[in-house]
Amino acid sequence: MSLPGRKRSPVLFRRNDDNPILTAADWPYPANSVFNAGATRLQDGTTLLLCRVEDFRGLSHLTAARSRDGVSAWQIDHQPTLAPHPDHPEEEWGVEDPRITYLPEEGRYAVLYTAYCHNGPGVALALTEDFVTFERRGIIFPPEDKDAALFPRRFGDHWAAIHRPVTSTSANMNLSFSANLYHFGNTRTILEARRGAWWDANKVGLSAPPIETEEGWLVIYHGVKRTGSGVLYRNGLALFDLNHPERLIRRSDPWCFGPRDLSERVGDVDNVVFPCGTTLQDDGDTLHVYYGQADTSIGLATASVRQLLGWLRENSTMTPDPVRGEAQPAD
């Protein structure tokens, strides 16, 4: 029997049998937890994860792990790869949750990450060619803001980034544009949290960077549901126009990836699956989805882009409004 609101569908996210693929026990130096990793494939095909590592003070830094197949035999840097820097007071309480986008025009990777300080969490940008040295550009979205990633190319003259500011009344996904990767503006809301009992009520945020497909930019996003025993982090899908990324084409009603296994149900923060990166495999369809498990370890699931798009078509009751370009409930 299929769940109400969710049409019968194949398993979309296939968890690796050896999950978790990385834990603090694998680390070459003492660490409390290892989770929420950004992901990319380097020019030679190597998979690089930039892992959030929480130390025993509770502060986070980022450390690179590299693997030929993106599944096993990880080579982990022996010291933090991107640690909070004393010249950057916005990082005084740590750096968290990186999202990586390769920018062909720059010949560099852009890492957008949460920089945490007494003003709250904001979004910072660093550029790198090799994940050894970084050009830090500091805060691009001031607190409170997080869950950000750049698109890999400009739209017209402008770069675009998704981010999630929090105000006293909302926590929605926004899009901002920039001519120079220093200053961002022309901000608009592109995906709103739903209300009431919905799985994505009150708070939504980008999970992994947008994936370019023939049908549009495919986005995995998370919704946060408050319950009597805490919060539940689950993920759904949305599709945005290829040339106008502010235009939502469709959004899934049900979630498609939520906490299930023990390592996702129980950890430092229970009931969290939190993808921050995907990599596309050589067949052009298979995605490796890297996700934090209960803020404690890193899991891997595989998915098919074609299947995700098909599932989203069947599980959305939203149709785009031709004037505003935003999704409205279908009749």
Q: Give residues in contact with ligand BMA (CB under 6 A).
A: 36, 96-97, 233, 269, 272, 274, 292, 295
Q: Of 245 and 267, which CB lies nearer to ligand BMA in the complex structure?
A: 267
Least Å from the CB of residue 322 to ligand BMA: 35
Closest contact distance (angstroms) between CB of 318 and ligand BMA is 25
Give 207 or 315: the residue with its C-beta nearer to ligand BMA: 207
Cα-to-chain-centroid distance, residue 49: 13
Q: Which is nearer to ligand BMA, 36 or 47 (CB)?
A: 36
Q: How far is CA 202 from CA 173, 194, 199, in A?
A: 11, 6, 9
Peptide bond into 210 cis (omega under 30): no
Smaller CB separation from ligand BMA, 33 or 252: 33
Q: Least distance in Å: CB of 213 to ligand BMA? A: 26
Length of the chain: 331
User: What CA–CA distance (Å, rounded) separates 176 from 83?
Assistant: 26
Q: How far is the CB of 94 from ligand BMA (least distance, A)?
A: 11
Beta carbon of residue 8, minimum distance to ligand BMA (angstroms, whole number) = 30
Choose between 8 and 118: whose C-beta lies nearer to ligand BMA.
118
Shortest spacing between CB 269 and ligand BMA, in angstroms: 4
Q: Which residues contact 245 (CB under 8 A, 6 or more apart)?
A: 151, 155, 160, 162, 175, 190, 210, 217
Nearest approach, Cβ of 276 to ligand BMA (angstroms)?
Answer: 8
Q: Which residue, 140 or 272, is less far from ligand BMA as judged by CB?
A: 272
> Would you say 217 or 274 has its CB closer to ligand BMA?
274
Q: Which residue is nearest to ligand BMA (CB)?
A: 269
Q: Minimum distance from CB of 193 to ligand BMA (Å)?
A: 13
Q: Which is nearer to ligand BMA, 209 or 292 (CB)?
A: 292
| CB atoms near residue 11 (< 10 Å) | 10
